[in-house]
Amino acid sequence: MSETGTNGPTLRAIAVETLTAEQAAEELKALALEIAEHDQRYHQEDAPTISDADYDALRRRNIAIEERFPDLVIADGPSAQVGAAPASGFGKITHRVPMLSLDNAFNDDDVRDFVGRVRRFLKFDPLMGALAVTAEPKIDGLSLSLRYEGGKLVYAATRGDGTTGENVTANARTIKDIPDQLNGTVPEVVEVRGEVYMAHKDFQALNERMEARGGKVFANPRNAAAGSLRQLKSEITASRPLRFFAYAWGEMSEVPDDTQSGMVKRFEDWGFQINPLMKRCETIEELLGVYHGIEENRAQLDYDIDGVVYKVDRLDLQERLGFVSRSPRWAIAHKFPAEQAFTVLNDIEIQVGRTGALTPVAKLEPITVGGVVVSNATLHNEDYIKGIGQDGEPIRDGKDLRVGDTVKIQRAGDVIPQIVDIDLEKRPDDAQPFEFPTVCPACGSHAVREKNEKTGRVDAIRRCTGGLICPAQATEKLKHFVSRNAYDIEGFGDKQVDAFYKDGLVMSPADIFTLEERDKRALTKLRNREGWGALSAKNLFEAINSRRDIDLHRFIFALGIRHVGAGNAKLLSRAYGSWANFSEAMQAAHDEAGEAWAELNDIDGVGHIVAEALVEFFAEAHNRDQLDALLTEVSPRDAEKIDASGSPVAGKTVVFTGSLERMTREEAKAMAERFGAKVSGSVSKKTDLVVAGPGAGSKLKKAQSLEVEVISEDGWFDLVGA
């Protein structure tokens, strides 16, 4: 704490209004040092030595002095540096309430279907009044969750995988639109969610500065916003013109309003920026009018949007509607049509994926589409390129694409570039039909199109037969294994996979977890390799060891089994509960017959194709060998059991059959799982309950023959108390 030296009392005790210029300059220096020290202790050492109130008082005093003596402001003082850079990368924060994504609508009929589904689910009688729905622009930025306790910002986290996000608190504090202290009276716990974005004029100015300094420019405002928020040094984020719109919430100790529109207005009262284009509508025509109005004026907005989001306004109806899979039933995103442009197809490149699939990629003359420079586009498969199927008939959307063609491209959903048309009048005279390779470009093995013996159809995808000898497949499988929705090992990305595989250090998933032990015996240590050092090697080994135990669904997904995506992995995880149960069941179903095979196919949402892929994976000896090696190093965690204490159907196997009138089959499944039940697609002796609607046939008869309890749809609602 600074002193005057001559007058006796400390400068801190002197009111800002009575400070002299000399005293103010000295006090600003003292405040800068003190605040920086507390920032260090709070953000990097997690050991604050003063209360939040005392810290805030220091900052308020600093601001007051700067406002009175603007010529004395320290360039790199507290006002220029908010927070402190994380010590090493970003920590992880688990969302108290998951940050889910939205289902999409792509045309007006999809919106009418959405409103119709909502009305049917709620059995909404027109006599009850209008079904109000809000409409607001869908900001193309980075989702962020802000948690406040006692009105004070506690932490900020990115969406991440919806369950766990990155801790970007220090960086979020630098964004002017994000208040550190909320205005007025607020609930004790407030979790506000919204979008971090960058305005067009700010984006352009930033890129001009980056280019002038010889730095890398950003492809679009969203990338610029995401890259700026994820800086390891918060002073860099503070120098970037980021903004924030608030539009949703997570955990709330008390919900202060009963409507979506009312809650958003509360955000504004608390000090947040909300989108002025948000509107409450009472008819489908109003909703579509807002959508088309925003669409027509999209180019005039100073920020990127990719659609309009609709949300049922009443919160009690939102609660009744609930969620299905990864999305709420009460909201949907109405996406804008993809933007289009013409360019030249310079080449067709073949890439080999982790399943051996040969995927053609269009190499385009770079062109800007929707604010992004596009140089590649998907071409799907060889029939798509030829425009003709194996039977000699033209295929839907087939193109007869040739190198040199002038093509119209669009970014489907404003994300994935694809070719939608060809200007044949501009085709070069010497353009030749593209010859799809019959050997793998990565290993030289034969590439074939398999024939399904049951259907007689030839697979649209040509695949490499090289298997484990194909380096492209091996590295792609490893990249999938460490990807975000799988093991998500920090510091172990595509670049590391390629380098380690090339050097023979990591050839299989198990090798990842033995890398540290082998490194201790190696003549050339990882820390001594090019691009590595003692700290980076240590961090990698710590990151690997921290992932030896992961959730069962992540482990299943990481194996890269064909047709088993993140969603199916979660279904399997919930159905079997543990790795031991899952592995035993898959091996027991090897002959595609018997009880284990039937149970696998009965998992609602899995299906015959996925079941076959699972059985085939476990039937391969080399796959089992790799699993045995991997499981000596890692331990998949058992699936979390749904807390449905008190539910009359918890732990029971339920089958829905017939025409359900109060809910769709998907809604019925979601409801049953919410109450702790397991939904099956067929009736067996293990079935506990059958819910039969009108027109129920063979499943109802089998239930009656097995003396399984059968109830109506109304009986189901009475049973679960919904």
Q: Per residue in 640-655, is it b (16+ CB within 10 Å) or e — as a string?
A: eebebeebebeebbbb
- Map residue 544 onto helix, strand or coil: helix
* Helix-, strand-, coil-residue percentages of the chain, each rounded to 5: 40, 20, 40
Residue 138 catalytic? yes
Which candidate, 540, 523, 543, 542, places its Cα nearest to that of 531?
540
Positive or negative CA dihedral for 17, 19, 20, 24?
Answer: negative
**Strands across the sheet containing 104-105:** 104-105, 331-335, 305-312, 133-139, 279-281
- Listed in sequence order, the DSSP H helices in 419-493 are 471-481
| Phi, psi for 376 (deg, rounded to 5) | -130, 155
Distance in angstroms (rounded) separating the CA atoms of residues 491 and 475: 16
Which tokens in the block code for residue 566?
């993140």
- Across the strands, what pairs with 407? 343, 422
Length of the chain counted residue by residue: 722
Tell me how far apart the alpha carbons of residues 621 and 608 are, in angstroms, rounded to a whole number: 22
Whether 569 and 557 have beta carbons less than 8 Å apart is answered as yes
Q: Which amino acid is at 368?
A: T
Give the active site residue among 92, 138, 311, 335: 138
> Is-contact 512 526, C-beta < 8 A?
no
Tokens of 680: 């099956």
Q: Residue 355 is which amino acid?
A: T
Q: 28 pairs with which residues across the strands?
A: none
DSSP string of 584-597, one letter each residue = HHHHHTTTS-HHHH
Contact 464, 443 (CB under 8 A): yes
Measured between alpha carbons, how far is 26 from 182 in angstroms, rounded to an integer?
A: 31
Cα–Cα dist 31/11, whole Å: 11
- Distance (Å, whole) CA 515 – CA 542: 11
Q: How far apart are CA 387 and CA 389, in angstroms?
A: 7
Dihedral sign for Cα 168, 174, 176, 178, please. Answer: positive
Q: What is the separation, in whole angstroms, between the first and last Cα of the chain? A: 63
The token duo for 682 is: 């067929």
Beta strand spans in 413-528 (E): 416-422, 447-448, 463-464
What are the tokens at 232? Answer: 């390891």
Angle at 370 between CA 369 and CA 374, to 5 degrees: 35
What one-character DSSP code corresponds to residue 40? I
Distance, in Å, from the CA atom of 472 to the CA atom of 719, rounded to the nearest integer, reads 54
Residue 299, both tokens: 């180019």
Name the amino acid, one letter, at 220: N
Distance of CA 426 to the CA centre of its chain: 41
Check if the beta carbon of residue 434 is closer than 8 Å to that of residue 420: no
Q: What is the enclosing helix (H) or strand (E) of 377?
A: strand 372-378
Which residues are identified as catalytic? Answer: 138
